[in-house]
Amino acid sequence: MTSHQTTPGERPAEARAHQSEDLAALLERLLAEVPDKTQKDLAVEAGVKYPTLNAWLNRTRGTSRIELEVLRALAKTFQAWGVDTSPREFFEATGRPVPGRTDEEREARLLKLYRQLPEDRQRDLVKDAEAMLRVSRVS
């Protein structure tokens, strides 16, 4: 009996197999690790509409436009259920760059929040931001 030995830097076969998973395969694998949880449980806890989640699992809906926060919420839900996973797996499964708050991502998140505020609160936010900028220039 022989065993496959990995060379330094090489990932074990199981990890290599996971590396090429799409989102549907990743979700199926992780859901299998929590047999007491359903797709509906995942949708509710991660804040995803069930038909959308189901379409991702059935590969009838693309995954290239999934918001970054949704991918993080999916990972966080599985982690809360005791599954060993990370946002990195979800980003890789959708062909996205590895997670990390980039300037563009932070700006997009701020703009999304800003647009959800009523107009008077938007004005307040702009004033607060201007005040923070003035203070940061003094420091």
Could you tell me which residues come within 8 angstroms of residue 54 by beta carbon, excluding any fewer than 6 positions away?
39
Question: In this structure, what are the phi and psi dihedrals at residue 101, rounded to the nearest 5 degrees?
Answer: -75, 110
User: What fold characterizes domain 13-93?
Assistant: 434 Repressor (Amino-terminal Domain) (1.10.260)
Residue 73, pLDDT > 80, answer yes
Q: Are 10 and 19 in contact (CB under 8 A)?
A: no
Q: What pLDDT does residue 99 have?
A: 60
Select, from the ranges 14-28, 66-80, 104-118, the one with the highest average predicted confidence (pLDDT).
66-80
Using the predicted structure, report yes or no on whether residue 12 has a pLDDT greater than 60.
Answer: no
* Residue 44: pLDDT over 90: yes
**Confidence check: pLDDT of 14 > 60:** no
The single-letter DSSP state of residue 61 is: S
Report which of 95, 89, 36, 88 is spatially closest to residue 65, judged by C-alpha positions. Answer: 95
* Domain locations in the chain as residue ranges: 13-93, 103-138
Q: In angstroms, what is the C-alpha Rg of the chain?
A: 20
**Are the C-beta atoms of residues 92 and 19 closer than 8 Å to each other?**
yes
Residue 9: predicted pLDDT: 42
Q: What is the mean pLDDT of residues 114-139?
A: 91
- Mean pLDDT over 70-84 rounds to 95
To the nearest whole number, what is the mean pLDDT of the chain? 84
Torsion of CA 60, 61, 63, 69, to 10 degrees: -130
The per-residue pLDDT for 100 is: 61
With b for 16 or more beta-carbon neighbours within 10 A and e for fewer, the 88-105 pattern comes to ebbbbbbebeebeeeeee
Is 128's pLDDT higher than 50? yes
pLDDT band at 53 (very low <50, low <70, confident <90, very high): very high
Residue 1: its pLDDT value, please?
A: 44
